Amino acid sequence: MSQRDPCVIVERRGALLIVSLNRPEAKNAVDGATAAQLNAAMDLLDEDDNLFAGILTGNGGNFCTGGDLKAAARGERLSTDDRGLFGLFGRPPRKPLIAAVEGYAVGGGLEICLACDLIVASSAARMGLPEVRHSVIALGGGLFRLPRRIPYHLAMELVLSGEIRDAAFFQQHGLLNRLVEPGTALQEAVALAEGLLVNAPLALAASKAVIQRSADWTDEEAWQLQAPIAARVLKSEDRREGLAAFAEKRKPQWKGR
């Protein structure tokens, strides 16, 4: 890869944004430039009304092997002020984001998956949080997001052992949405995304927000706190379009506003 090649490649496919980590020579380890470019890609996804969902993947046969330790040793900052570590972990996009995983997704690579809403992985993928083997701690969300997604004792074993497991293990325990043939993760993620895109984009984002935020809500709080999130959807152009399309028995034309 030349010095001019981007660390993150962004491709639009209609209402879908495909974001590819592009440091194959480093197994897509994240350096300072990658974090900044990933942050910018997530901003684009959030801010463009014509984009309804995103896919995050890696070029060159691997998803991501975490932070680039050589870059960190050079003093590069692997985070941004806006979205935190990797330009993602502290504030993932408000719109649905799908991870398409081939090869290794370890350390910060697995934490990228955990920052996504859906995960499609190749059966040849390898995943885990090996930080403790290097006297490091998984500070990209893995220590609190992983035990929310799989049983506590399994998450604890993975973290404390640092073992890297195959994707079938994570499928068995509910972390993956799709387990697919090697080389087809992106293709399957696109198909999954296209199934989402028939739905209203503001409703998708609002539903995601309620699910994410409600983990700490009581039932009484939930009735109150979901209302302002839903209000934008219920007052939107897309809401009126959805009702009109239903009445007219046609496919709705969503505008994301």
What does the radius of gyration of the chain's CA atoms come to, in whole angstroms?
A: 19
- The answer to whether the CB of 206 falls within 8 A of the CB of 229 is yes
Q: Which among 11, 25, 102, 111 is annotated as catalytic?
A: 111
CA atoms of 240 and 238, how far apart (whole Å): 5
- The answer to whether the CB of 166 falls within 8 A of the CB of 126 is yes
Residue 131 annotated among the catalytic residues of the structure? yes
CA atoms of 67 and 106, how far apart (whole Å): 10
Residue 163 annotated among the catalytic residues of the structure? no
CA atoms of 48 and 18, how far apart (whole Å): 14
Alpha helices in the chain (DSSP H): 32-47, 69-73, 108-115, 142-149, 152-161, 167-172, 185-196, 201-213, 219-234, 237-248
CB atoms within 10 A of CB 38: 23
Q: Which among 47, 131, 181, 237 is annotated as catalytic?
A: 131
Question: What are the catalytic residues?
Answer: 111, 131
